[in-house]
Chains A and B, each alone.
Chain A
């Protein structure tokens, strides 16, 4: 019977191989429901004392997406929980510019297609060239089309330590280059936000403000603005972003982070601004807290 069922044989073999596989060397890419994830490094090795780039590469099936740090009306941001050798440190995910998804009148923020969530890893100065280390991560995500499926993978990456310079890993050069383009850029814009009733109005001014065509704007913090697309307009030299206050708005933060995105030849570009929030409802004469 078994020879009539090659799939069964293959599965059994695969299972046996998985069990037998040494702990350290795992299949690098993990195929989950509707998304394939992989832990990758920009370089083929790590260099003592340097901050280097690794990241979670997500390849979504068409129409499926995962989420930004603020997922919007539903969803969950992807989380990465690293297990690192002694002395190594990782920074938070450097979230790429999000896209807005309209899911039947509700709005989500996230990623589709291929996306790299980059993470800086700081290699301790006393890491010894000639040795190798394992970077392990438990990645959790929610992948949605309209329906959603939670996913989880334990991934690991073995990397040698070398004296500088490390070679770029040719397999991932394009992905890391694109991830840099998809990072929100720092700006010298002046910004200020006001709350009036149930509206929050953000005014941006300064050099290099983009044209309003195709612009979108996102607030990193949850529960601040409503998740519908904001109104974006020019007011003289200023760019004004106006959104409804979130119905879950609690206390006013002193500042919040605004990400503005614009279409570009390369797909998308964008900027990040830390915006001071002047809460009119707290009284105009109140000093900045």
Chain B
């Protein structure tokens, strides 16, 4: 096959990705369209050319509180922003479930914890969550400038609710972002996420 044809074939493969396939590292990350806390529509495709981090969030989950309480999540959001990385926090908690937020509650939460994400996405129907097969809060995904999934899994390497474990753990998202920024291959592409289950609706 000639290079140009190969590229075409690759592009067609991306387009042909089935709607509810599980995301696979090294393949195109699922696109989505969802409203954020400011009422703006957010889609992955709009950020082509930028690295994107997705963070699944439930404000009341102890694992989320561990990382926000210690400032670990906000710090990584600031670092990412300074490198031009787009950070999207996603809440897939269904209405009536723990951690579900409406737009104004989401704004208040981000202000309260000092969140520095680019946007807070309201995914109460779980569409984005299911497209990414997000299981826990937090559950993290790193997508490169071409829209290819480069990392999925835990925020770090120590599954616990103890703040004291944060400095001892390998911060997988930070590591992946720094490797991508310096043109290296991401060394840890997948880890088992740990946290509370995402509170999807039935």
Which residues of A approach B to under 8 Å, CB–CB?
73-76, 103-106, 108, 142, 144, 146-150, 222-223, 246-248
Contacts and interface: CB of A to CB of B under 8 A. Distances in A.
B136 A74 contact: yes
Interface string B177-202: 00000000000001110111111111
A105 B130 CA distance: 11
Chain B binding surface SS class:
loop
A68 to B, nearest CB: 14
A108 B197 contact: yes
17 contacts: A74-B195, A74-B196, A75-B197, A76-B161, A103-B197, A104-B198, A104-B200, A105-B200, A106-B135, A144-B196, A146-B98, A146-B197, A146-B199, A147-B98, A147-B99, A150-B62, A248-B190
A149 B62 contact: yes
User: Which of B60, B194, B196 has the most C-beta atoms of chain A within 10 angstroms of its own C-beta?
Assistant: B196
Contacts, number: 57
Contacts of A148: 61-63, 196
B135 A142 contact: no
Contacts of A76: 159-161, 194
A246 B133 CA distance: 13
A53 B69 CA distance: 39
Contacts of A103: 197
Contacts of B200: 104-105
B197 to A, nearest CB: 4
Contacts of B63: 148
Contacts of A223: 192
A150 B161 CA distance: 7
Given A73-B197, A74-B194, A76-B159, A147 B61 contact: yes
Nearest to B98: A147
